[in-house]
Amino acid sequence: MKKLLTLVAMFTAANMSAGHHEKGEHSHHNMGNSKEWEIKAYTSAAPSFIGDHATVISSSGKVLREGTNGWRCEPFMPVPKGGFKTAHGAAAACSDKNAVAWANAYKSNTNPELESDGWIWMLHGDLGVDNFKPYTDGQKDAGHKHFIESGAHLMLMPKDPSSMDNQSTDYTTGGPYVMFKGTPYVHMMIPLDGYYDYQPEAAPK
């Protein structure tokens, strides 16, 4: 885990120095989400050396660009009227093939079946979820007790959910923690720089 976090820190520093993202959010506003906007916004959810070569899926499910590296970048939120204003609002994500299988299972309320652990980059963060309740995505004002709106992070989707049994669920320390513990959708959240930008009250004190 120490080696993993060191690599994550290196990737994040390189990505920020290249101007790839700012405070976890793509700063472009859109006029109905052009193809060019979608490709730039969704691929910037990962480091450029991944996003630049990934397949890109539009908010409608259409393939906007075929990739070459086995990764897929797309929005995780349904498109609102008028389109997304930011990549954060889209919950832009870049996933490897096992994480795509995990996400498809989550969307269809079925148990994930992965060939190995999967990874998802979300450098713009997402609109949040209750840490213990699947399907509370984006419900920040619904009164959920453990809701966390995330900034930049990396996720590990385990092939074996039981491998997460002894991991912390505390999202206020700045360290890795698990989400949806005790469900088929348990996964590890790895906060990156800017993780608490959207919910500073949850940041380590």
pLDDT tens digit string along 47-62?
A: 999 999 999 999 888 9
Percent of the chain, pLDDT > 90? 80
Domain limits, the chain:
2-202
Q: Hey, how many other C-beta atoms are within 10 angstroms of the C-beta on 89?
A: 21
Structure letter (DSSP) for residue 201:
G
Rounded CA separation 127/157 (Å): 19
Rg (Cα) of the chain, in Å, rounded? 16
For residue 174, what are its two tokens?
Answer: 């700045």
Q: Hey, how many other C-beta atoms are within 10 angstroms of the C-beta on 50?
A: 21
Q: What is the band of 201 on the pLDDT scale with cuts at 50, 70, 90?
A: very high
Q: What is the band of 32 on the pLDDT scale with cuts at 50, 70, 90?
A: confident
For residue 11, what are its two tokens?
Answer: 């990737």
pLDDT tens digit string along 129-180?
A: 999 999 999 999 999 999 999 999 999 999 999 999 999 999 999 999 999 9
Q: What is the band of 66 on the pLDDT scale with cuts at 50, 70, 90?
A: very high
Its pTM stands at 0.85
